[in-house]
Chains A and B, each alone.
Chain A
Amino acid sequence: MNNPYIPKLALIKDITEESRNIRTLTVAFKDNTPFDPQPGQFVELSLFGYGEFPVSIAGVLDPAAGIFQTTIRRMGGVTERIADLKVNSTVGVRGPFGKGYPVEKLDGKDIVLVAGGMGIASIKYLADCLIKKRSKYGRLILLYGAATPADLIYRSSPTLSPPKTKEKPLQALVTVDVADAEWKGNVGTVLDLINKIEPAMDIDVRKSMVAACGPSKMMKAVVDRFTLAGFRGEQMLLSFERRMQCGMGMCGHCMMGEKRVCLDGPVISFEDVKDTLEKLF
């Protein structure tokens, strides 16, 4: 029987230590089920004996063989246990769930991707997808902020750091809230980054889109700032973080007004949530 509550078993194929408390897992379904989620969708990852938690899909390595990546920060509760995982450990996966970034709406557009902290996971997968069909889009700009240089992840990812010889498919700008002695880059929030570079970005508001994923403070700042810059609600694609437990619109945990982030999102345009009675951020 097709039971959406029973996870499919999967193996950890590889583990990348992204920072002191963040790991990227490469996961492969044991039965090699094809897996081709949209960027922005999420899965419920099971660590049997501890529980399951919702997490963004950070990349798909082989859709035909069902091999994908997910990046997890230890934040207490079940996620604390990702430290125990080893290559060849068995995990469970339910999903993919929800609506991802509407990639078809990005055709021909200049696209600003904004990521804060762990929000980079879903944004990176979106960037992967956009770069695959690079000629369909205008400029691609990524603004990425983390707390400290040690919290910046995916530093070796080809999407974020393309080989020097190639023409850059994506213009990445990185900032940290607090620098360390070796940090020579930007210091401040992604909002500071926007303010700093906006004149130079030379963005045509009419043919641009923003996709953002990050902490709620950042999301609010992004919406305010891009509204000020003349972006309309439907041009701002927001990926919401909530505690989706069932992923299927039943458990009630991810409600935001009448919206259920697991079904209506996680990616929802600002236009579709701006009149929600409850606070968004």
Chain B
Amino acid sequence: MQKKLSKKDFKKFFGALKKKHKIFAPTKKGTITAYNFGTFDYIDDVKWLNLDRNPISSPKKLFMPDGEALFKFEKIGNDVVLEDTEQEWKEKRVLLGVRPCDIAAMAKFDKVFNEAYDDPYYRERRKNTLIIGMTCNEKTDDLCFCSVTESGPDSDSGYDLLMTDIGSNYFFKSGSKEGERWLEESYFKDVSKRDVQARDRKIADAKTDLDLEKNKLDLTNIKEAMAKAYDNKLWDPYGKRCVSCGSCNMVCPTCHCFTILDKANVGQTEGKRVRIWDACHFEKFAKMAGGFDIRPDKLSRLKHRLYDKFYYPFITYGEGFCVGCGRCIRHCQSEIDIRDALREVAHE
């Protein structure tokens, strides 16, 4: 189903959403910092909404919150009482204004968290979250390359609703029954041929701009190229520049590694087991109790992250794990542009 919503009526839609869901969206929070990017956060007023730019961090924190409690425990004598945290996952939420790259990333997360085992924390949070995507009319900056990874600027699945800014209106497409039900609300109006054309034009313009990246980077045969490049010296300068800060892991919408640990009170009589985000760039990520470390140096860790985007996932999930959001480049303090490395790999 396709409908449009006048920007003037957006408040009505927002208000109706708010009655049923807790709304998470790109906000203006943090926009006065040096980065000038917002974050995905809870908002209860449309005035905090910031649909201009894709936030600094991906929305993965909504589905796998850093530090989420897996369960609580209490030790009484020799006994231990466990309490689940199911109530925390049941909240009805809406993720508003999420971009095609991040929508594509969520589909990849779905594979990780429901492969050999089903992760109930992730599954329930995902199930209880309405996805309202937003296509991109323009690149956030020159670091966007979603067109190369085929995950933008438009989406064809993975959303309940998908909006496009076509001027004085937002063009809405539904991607699920629940999305369709929303479009039946009175403030959504029928679309004209012109509106459809306007949407097509917006997408085409964005695509033309993004496709310029395609001339510079071709990932068609990246799996085969990566297979041959592992021991190549081309990686060395990148390994030298990397400082193992893990920023790329944290902002990446498809990096999912975590560590499980207990947070307890003094005396360890009660507490909770939590999972915190971890990064394969961190020094001790793969180190074992006996001291053996499969990736003791920065270079091997840098390669691991890139192989876990452009090689290993092809074997495990049948697809690459980069969605071209550009965050890892944008936030690398050593100014490592993974596209440079990939170009070199492709050329070899």
Contact = CB atoms under 8 A, between A and B. Distances in A.
Interface in A195-222: 215-216
Q: For chain B, which range describes its interface: under 10, 10 to 19, 20 to 34, or 35 or more residues?
A: 35 or more
Contacts of B290: 75, 117, 215, 241
A120 B232 CA distance: 38
Interface of B: 70-71, 73, 75, 78-80, 82, 84, 86, 112-113, 115-121, 227, 230, 256-262, 264, 268-269, 271, 273, 275, 278, 280, 285-290, 292, 294-295, 300, 304, 307-308, 311-312, 315-316
Contact of B289 (A77, A249, A279): A77
Interface string A1-40: 1111111010000000000000000000000000000000
Given A77-B289, A241-B288, A253-B285, A6 B269 contact: no
Contacts of B304: 255, 278
A215 B292 contact: yes
B288 A245 contact: no
Contact of A252 (B115, B257, B300, B315): B257
> Is chain B's binding surface mostly helix, strand, loop or mixed?
mixed
A9 B83 CA distance: 12
B312 A257 contact: yes
> Is chain A's binding surface mostly helix, strand, loop or mixed?
loop
A49 B86 contact: no
A242 B292 CA distance: 9
B308 A250 contact: no
Nearest to B230: A277
Nearest to B267: A49
Given A5-B121, A5-B260, A216-B292, 19 more contacts: A1-B86, A5-B71, A6-B70, A48-B73, A48-B262, A49-B268, A49-B269, A52-B262, A75-B290, A90-B79, A117-B290, A242-B286, A245-B258, A251-B259, A251-B278, A252-B256, A253-B286, A255-B304, A279-B294
Contact of A249 (B116, B278, B286): B116
A258 B316 contact: yes
Interface string A42-57: 0000101111100000
A156 B34 CA distance: 66
A163 interface: no
B260 A52 contact: yes
Contacts, number: 135
A109 interface: no
A89 B78 contact: yes
Given A1-B120, A9-B80, A279-B294, A50 B71 contact: no
A256 interface: yes
Contacts of A245: 258-260
A249 B115 contact: yes
Given A1-B120, A49-B73, A49-B268, A246 B260 contact: yes
Contact of A51 (B71, B78, B119, B260): B260
A255 B312 CA distance: 10
A5 B75 contact: no
Nearest to B83: A6
Contacts of B86: 1
A251 B275 CA distance: 9
Contacts of B256: 250, 252
Nearest to A243: B288
Nearest to A79: B289
12 contacts: A1-B86, A3-B71, A4-B118, A5-B119, A5-B121, A76-B289, A92-B82, A243-B288, A249-B117, A251-B260, A255-B308, A277-B311
Contacts of B260: 5, 51-52, 245-246, 251
Nearest to A30: B79
Nearest to B71: A6
A48 B113 CA distance: 25
A46 B287 CA distance: 20
Contacts of A256: 294
Nearest to B119: A250
A48 B259 contact: no
A248 interface: yes
B134 to A, nearest CB: 29
A52 B273 CA distance: 9
Contacts of A89: 78
Contacts of A157: none
A76 B287 CA distance: 13
B315 A49 contact: no
